[in-house]
Amino acid sequence: MTEKEKAEEKGKNPKIDDLYMNTEDGSGEAMTTNQGLKINDDQNSLTAGERGPTLLEDFHFREKMTHFDHERIPERIVHARGAGAHGYFESYGDLSEFTKAGFLGKKGKKTPVFTRFSTVAGFKGSTDLARDVRGFAVKFYTEEGIYDLVGNNMPVFFIQDAMKFPDLIHAVKPEQHNEIPQAASAHDTFWDFISLMPESMHMVMWAMSDRAIPRSLSMMEGFGVHTYRFVNAQGESFFVKFHWKPVAGTYSVTWDEAQKISGQDPDFHRRDLWNAIENGNFPEWEFGVQIVEEKDEHKFDFDLLDPTKLIPEELVPVKLIGKMVLDRNPDNFFAETEQVAFHPGHVVPGIDFTNDPLLQGRLFSYTDTQLSRLGGPNFHEIPINRSIAPVHNNQRGGISRQTINKGQSSYHPNSIGGGCPFQAKMAEGGFTSHHERIDGHKIRTRSSSFLDHFSQAKLFFESQTKVEQEHIVEALRFELGKVMTEDIRMRMVGMLSYINDDLAKDVAEGLGIKAINKPKDPLNHSFPADADPKDYQPKEVKKSIEKSPKLSLMASPGKGIKGRSIAVLADDGVDAKSLESYKKALTQEGADVKIISTHSGSINDSNGNSIKVDHSFLTTASVLFDAVFVPEGVKSVDTLHKNPDAIRFVDESYKHYKFIAINGDAEQVWDMTYASRNPKPKGVLFNQDPKAFIDAVSQHRIWEREDAKRIPV
Ligand code: HDE
């Protein structure tokens, strides 16, 4: 960004203005050492003679190499791979009845945010399309300090107590002896642990569903997972669950695509987010809350403090209270996306915690982990983590301290410093914890209200559409098929039979398991050594709801085709009118249209105009697109219909339930496909106008295409 552009941006987003203090731009400037000394030769070391050894005196070489040697920091132990963006949150209106949080205050109030999305299990360099949970962490730079909502794209979690987190992560990460497999839960240690942990079954249903392979980061929901508290100015508290609802709708890819995308473009999600922002198609989410009054804490058939449970939207509707727009890519990945440090304990007045034992453990872990990741206690001073609200306290020193604290005293109370910095009264914005009455014994146990492990797993599975249920079965067949230990597979299938008999049967069939052993006590292995295992076994409770249609991805479609990528297969001689009319209409609707041809460079259309080729069949693949269009044109069609890559492109799109538009003589290309054996192919539009194609693509996929699976590509 030029200085002029920077100047123009000033004043729009206070956090971006704040970051400019640390932003460097070398354009038009001389190269210097870190000490500001202008460098004359950055190519050659200082040596004794033309062919002689390098001299220790070469401070420039030493500085350059030393810095390089220390460029890396430890990657996050979980959520290592991620992508982030800046933006803003805008409040829809006054929420003071429930919370005094200022950023949720008056209508139209804008707060800068930085949001980082991530996968959980893979290393920093792994693929975006792993079957995995996605992190959805939002840092609000509010006027009252930083508020972090560190959530996931699934509303529940695998375990109920933070004590089990290191075990869960050791089980899912690559196995300790050989560090295999990368970014995958499909291996023995993960399923060994899960098969002994019935509390994980609800989350397993989510993780095996299409939610784990989103089409785009901007097409997934986000959830705070835990029940938090809102507190209003009168000190009244409400339980609250947080939701992010993508304006673009919720969509996924198929597992076959996910695996192929991982090879074709491991940066698929990261690139999609980057390009959307660069193209001005800013991803948006609405922010929603489910609010439960304190008096209703025990009215549900599950415990609000249990993070393996959600509140069905049919029981407590989601109230939309604001919108987040991501409109600016970071300037530097390391400085911003890598160094950003989230912590569920970063709250502002009006937001507080519950006693969810998973949340309580997280409140310790996040600051602790930054100490080794970011090298010490001053990570809050790193520009991306810096609050835009002023920071004053008596913390001093520590590695890489940036702040120059003035004055003689660094303690409280003091008289030398006039008693400053002083404690703020509540009316001045001072944070006070909610006055919750706590009365109990000091014990290590799991509340018996946490023992219903299957009802919501069942509710989730049975609320999915048929297609989604099939995908869950296929995912489990894949994952358990990769498990080498027979006993683990058997145990898992037995566990599934507590969720749904057909599910267990279908998975068993795929694994060649003839008889399902429904495991008996102890089904749960998570209890103290001296306890009676019987006290810890899953208990079924009466369900207050049989189905929750909102749990299906298909319940939240978006509108239009903004952000979709459309492949146009063309070669020399492509009909100018056919190509242009489609391209124009699709682009106008916000789609990203790419011309794909037999070679890179350019092609000539039927009018002799040169058209830039975006990709050749060598540099792209159908799995990177949402739909495909083959325009007419005698010469173009003649070339394409003889090209096996073009035919495979169309067949593979068909296999993945994508809409296909074929114009005029391009039917010759279609006729060469395997898919054309079906005389009435669903979702293939012959000679239709662009509008019909746009309407079709806005549905995302044509799941009713029964023969899609039969395509042998
Ligand atoms: Fe995290 N988690 N987590 N987690 N988590 C981290 O913190 C942890 C959990 C989540 O983009 C770590 O800074 C414990 C639930 C996100 O930088 C670490 C437990 C949810 C991110 C950590 C959980 C999350 C993290 C690693 C169980 C959804 C990435 C690096 C008690 C509500 C944030 C770091 C980013 C990252 C601990 C469970 C979300 C180790 C102990 C549940 C989105 O502190």
Atom of ligand 1 nearest to the CA of 159: 27
- Please answer whether residues 463 and 456 qualify as being in contact, where contact means their C-beta atoms are separated by less than 8 angstroms: no
Structural tokens at position 358: 């998973």
Q: Which domains does the chain have, with CATH numbers?
A: 82-191+214-385 (2.40.180.10), 453-554 (1.20.1370.20), 561-710 (3.40.50.880)
Residues 454, 457, 458, CA angle at the centre, nearest 5°? 85
Distance 79 CA to ligand 1 centre (A): 7
Index of the ligand 1 atom closest to the CA of residue 116: 11
Prediction ipTM score: 0.98
Please give the average per-residue pLDDT across 240-249, as a whole number: 97
The answer, yes or no, to whether any atom of ligand 1 lies below 6 A from the CB of 362, is yes
Q: Which amino acid belongs to residue 419?
A: G
Least confident among 2-16, 434-448, 542-556: 2-16
Does the C-beta of 164 come closer than 6 Å to ligand 1?
no
Q: Which of 362, 371, 374, 380 has most ligand 1 atoms within 8 Å of CB, for mutation?
A: 362
328 C-beta closer than 6 A to ligand 1: no
In ligand 1, which atom is closest to the CA atom of 370?
13
Give 120 Cα–ligand 1 centroid separation in angstroms.
Answer: 9
Q: How far apart are CA 391 and CA 387, in angstroms?
A: 7
Distance (angstroms) between ligand 1 centre and the Cα of 366 equals 7
Say yes or no to pLDDT of 542 above 80. no
Cβ of residue 343 lying under 6 Å from some atom of ligand 1:
no
Give the pLDDT of residue 427: 94
> Nearest residue CA, atom 3 of ligand 1?
362
C-alpha to C-alpha distance for 359 and 352, rounded to whole angstroms:
11
Q: Is 499 exposed, middle or buried (0-12, 13-18, 19+ CB in 10 A)?
A: buried
CA distance 253 to 261: 10
Atom 7, ligand 1: which residue's CA is nearest?
366
- What are the tokens at 540? 């079924």
The CA distance from 24 to 213, in Å, is 37
CB 101 within 8 A of CB 352: no
Integer CA distances (angstroms), 564 to 215, 284, 613, 617, 707, in order: 10, 15, 19, 19, 24
Helix (H) or strand (E) holding 222: strand 222-223
Q: Which residues are annotated as a binding site for heme?
A: 76, 116, 165, 362, 366, 373
- The dihedral formed by the CA atoms of 102, 106, 110 and 112, expressed in degrees to the nearest 10: 10
| Residue 115 in contact with ligand 1 by CB distance below 6 A | no
CA 342 – ligand 1 centroid, Å: 8
Nearest atom of ligand 1 to the alpha carbon of 77: 26
Does the C-beta of 647 come closer than 6 Å to ligand 1? no
Q: What is the pLDDT of residue 2?
A: 58
pLDDT, averaged across the chain = 96
Q: Nearest residue CA, atom 19 of ligand 1?
A: 362
CA distances (Å), origin 554, targets 139, 251, 464, 465, 703: 29, 8, 9, 8, 11
Residue 697 CB less than 6 A away from ligand 1: no
Is residue 620 within 8 A of residue 652, CB to CB? The reply is no
Distance CA 458, CA 435 (A): 37
Residue range 302-344, pLDDT digits in tens = 999 999 999 999 999 999 999 999 999 999 999 999 999 999 9
CB 335, CB 384: distance < 8 Å: yes
Residue 411 is which amino acid? Y
* 3 state DSSP class of 175: coil
Decide: 152 in ligand 1 pocket, CB within 6 A: yes
597 pLDDT above the threshold of 80: yes
Over residues 672-682, mean pLDDT:
97
Q: Supply the pLDDT for residue 6.
A: 67
Rounded to whole angstroms, the Cα distance separating 533 from 519 reads: 14
pLDDT > 80? residue 496: yes
Ligand 1 pocket member 357 (CB < 6 A): no
The predicted model gives 528-535 an average pLDDT of 89
Please determine, for residue 1, whether its predicted confidence score (pLDDT) is greater than 60.
no
The whole-angstrom separation of Cα 512 and Cα 300 is: 40
Tell me what percent of the chain is helix, strand and coil, each rounded to the nearest 5: 35, 15, 50
- Ligand 1 atom at minimum distance from 79 CA: 29
- According to DSSP, residue 234 is labeled T
E-strand ranges in 582-679 read 592-597, 602-604, 610-612, 615-616, 627-630, 659-662
pLDDT value at residue 524: 86
State whether the Cα torsion 216-221-222-226 is positive or negative.
Answer: negative
Give the integer Cα–Cα distance in Å for 456 and 308.
9
The residue contributing the CA closest to ligand 1 atom 6 is 78
Residue type, 525: H
Radius of gyration of the chain (CA): 28
pLDDT-derived band at 190 (thresholds 50, 70, 90) equals very high
Residue 25 burial (CB count, 10 A): 12
312 Cβ contact list (under 8 Å, min separation 6): 459, 545, 548, 550, 551
Nearest atom (ligand 1) to Cα of 162: 31
> To 10 degrees, what angle do helices 466-481 and 255-264 make?
60
Distance 559 CA to ligand 1 centre (A): 32
76 C-beta closer than 6 A to ligand 1: yes
Ligand 1 atom 30: residue of nearest CA: 76
Q: Is the CB of 384 under 6 A from ligand 1?
A: no
% of the chain at pLDDT higher than 90? 93
More confident: 356 or 545 = 356
- Among 113, 165, 167, 366, the mutation site with the greatest number of ligand 1 atoms within 8 A of its Cβ is 366
| DSSP 3-state of 142 | strand
Over residues 227-255, mean pLDDT: 97
* For ligand 1, mutation pick of 150, 169, 225 (most atoms within 8 Å of CB): 150
DSSP 555: G
Lowest mean pLDDT among 403-417, 523-537, 559-573, 608-622: 523-537
Contacts with 399 (C-beta within 8 Å, 6 or more apart), sequence order: 375, 376, 377, 378
Per the confidence metrics, is the pTM higher than 0.95?
A: yes
Instruction: Determine whether the shortest distance from the Cβ of 162 to ligand 1 is under 6 A.
Output: yes
CA–CA dist 581, 602 (Å, integer): 19
Q: Specify the amino acid at residue 267.
A: D
- Per the omega criterion (within 30 degrees of 0), is the bond before 522 cis? yes
Sign of CA dihedral 83, 87, 93, 98: positive
Residue bearing the CA closest to ligand 1, atom 42: 157
- Tell the residue nearest (CA) to atom 32 of ligand 1: 151
Regarding beta strands 610-612 and 565-569, do their DSSP bridges make them parallel or antiparallel, or are they unpaired?
A: unpaired
CB-based contacts of 368-372 (< 8 A; 24+ apart in sequence): 369/76, 369/77, 370/341, 370/343, 372/74
pLDDT at 540: 81
Q: Residues 248-299: pLDDT tens digits?
A: 999 999 999 999 999 999 999 999 999 999 999 999 999 999 999 999 999 9
Residues with a known catalytic role: 79, 152
**What distance in angstroms lies between residue 380's CA and the mean position of ligand 1's atoms?**
17
- Residues with Cβ within 8 Å of 215's Cβ and at least 6 positions away in sequence, in order, are 251, 252, 253, 626, 700
Phi, psi of 237 (to 5 degrees): -115, 150
Question: CA-CA distance, 676 to 422, in Å (whole number)?
Answer: 76
Do β-strands 684-686 and 659-662 pair in parallel, antiparallel, or remain unpaired? parallel
Query: Which residue type is seen at 508?
Result: A
Residue with CA at minimum distance from ligand 1 atom 20? 151
Residue 393 has pLDDT above 90, yes or no: yes
pLDDT band at 23 (very low <50, low <70, confident <90, very high): very high
Residue reference for tokens 């707060």:
111
Per-residue pLDDT of 421-480, as tens digits, reads 999 999 999 999 999 999 999 999 999 999 999 999 999 999 999 999 999 999 999 999
- Spacing, Cα 22 to ligand 1 middle (Å): 28
Atom of ligand 1 nearest to the CA of 161: 31
367 lines ligand 1 (CB under 6 A): no
* Token pair listed for 678: 């079906």
243 Cβ closer than 6 Å to some ligand 1 atom: no
Q: In terms of Cα–Cα distance, which of 390, 338, 394, 346 is closest to 367?
A: 346
Q: What is the pLDDT of residues 59-101, one digit of tens each?
A: 999 999 999 999 999 999 999 999 999 999 999 998 999 999 9
Percent of the chain with pLDDT strictly greater than 70 = 99
Task: Give the Cα separation of 77 and 91 in Å (integer).
Answer: 34
